[in-house]
Amino acid sequence: MFRGFYTVASGMLAQQRRTEMVTNNMANANTPGFKEDQAALRAFPEMLLQRFDKTAPAAAVSTPVGSVNTGVYMQETIPKFIQGDMQQTGNKTDMALVDLTMPVTNGQKGSVFFTVQDPNGQTRYTRDGNFTLDAKGFLTTGGGLYVLDANGNPIQLSSDQFTLTDSGQISGANGEQAQLGIAFAANPEQLIKEGSGLYRAGNGAALVNASTRPGVQFKLQQGFLERSNVDVSRSMTDLLTAYRSFEANQKILQAYDRSMDKAVNEVGKVG
C-alpha cells in the first residue's frame, strides 16, 4: 500500500514538471530563436516479486508472482533544434541564421550559433539575432552582451547603417569591416541551456568555427529574425494531456487514502 503512494506521487511530480516545461515553451512562443524543450520520461527499475513456500524443502524453486513498477520521473529536458520560421523586421541590426546543409553525426543534425560574450568574459552561444548598438557603438544582444567576430572580439560600428552579407561579413558606413563569429555544434543537444536564449558547451570547451567546418552551409539574413520553433497548438494539447495525467494520479492517490482509512479505522474493529 505504501509503495502505491510513492508510485502515484512520482507520477504526479513528473507530470507537474512536464506541465512547467510546456508552460515555459508557450511563454516563449514569441521569443526570437527560442528552441522548445522536450521531456524525457523514464520509469524507475521494476521489481520482480517471488513467493517462497515455507513448508517446502529448502531447495524448492520459488514461484514468480509478477513485477511491480516503482514509478516514473522526468529524466531531463532536451531543446529541439529545428529551424524556426523567418520574420522580416526591416531593422538593420536584426539578423537571422538559416541552416542550409548540416552534417549528421550519430543521427543528430548539427546546428550553427551566434557567439556572444557574457559579463564574465566567457563565450556563449545563441540563435537570437535581435541585436542592437549600445552607446559606444558595440553590437550587443538584447541583454547587453557583446556579439563577437570570428576572432572572438566585440564588434564596434559607427552607426546602424551597415550591410551584412550571406556569409556574415559586416561593412560599416565608415568603412568598418568585421566577420561575424558563427560557431558550429555537431550535437547541439549536448549544449547546456543557461536561460535568456544562451547556451554553453560542456566542460568549458569551445565550439568550432562554422566557416571552417567541412560540410556546414548556412547563410545570414539582415533585417530578419528567426522565430521560435514552438508549436502552440501542439503545446496546448501536451499541456492538457499532462494535466489529465496529473488528475488521474491524484484520484488514485485519493483511492489509496480511503483504503488506508478503512484499514486503520474499520478493519479488525471489535464490535
Residues 6+ apart with CB under 8 A from 10: 44, 70, 71, 72, 73
Element (H, E) at 243: helix 232-265
In Å, how far from its chain's centre is CA 40?
11
DSSP 47-74: EEEEE--TTS-TTPPPEEEEEE---EEE
Domain total in the chain:
2
The verdict on 40 and 171 lying in the same domain is no
pLDDT at 9: 82
Tens-place pLDDT, residues 39-70: 877 666 666 666 666 665 555 566 776 666 66
Q: Quick one: pLDDT at residue 196?
A: 87
Same domain, 113 and 153: yes
Q: In this predicted structure, what is the pLDDT of residue 217?
A: 94
Give the model confidence (pLDDT) of 13-37 as tens digits.
Answer: 888 899 999 999 999 999 999 999 9
Question: What single letter denotes the amino acid at residue 31?
Answer: T
Q: How far apart are CA 196 and CA 216, in angstroms?
A: 26
Domain of residue 64, residue span: 2-79+231-265
Q: Does any domain span residue 271?
A: no
Residue 258 corresponds to which cell in the numbers above?
480511503
* Same structural domain, 59 and 127: no
Whether residue 203 sits in one domain with residue 100: yes
Sign of CA dihedral 93, 99, 103, 104: positive
* CA pair distance 94, 162, nearest whole angstrom: 11
Provide the whole-model pTM.
Answer: 0.80
Supply the pLDDT for residue 67: 64
> Is 108 within a domain?
yes
Query: With the CA atoms of 82, 213, 156 and 206 taken in that order, what torsion angle do they form, in degrees rounded to the nearest 10?
Result: 80
Q: Looking at the structure, do residues 181 and 221 belong to the same domain, yes or no?
A: yes
The three-point CA angle 87-92-98 to 5° equals 45
Please give the Cα distance from 232 to 31 (Å, whole number): 13
Rounded distance, CA 54 to CA 250, Å? 39
Contact 228, 31 (CB under 8 A): yes
Query: Is the same domain home to 222 and 90?
Result: yes
Segments of the chain scoring below 70 in pLDDT: 1-3, 42-62, 65-70, 73, 267-271
Give me the residue label for grid cell 509478477.
Answer: 66
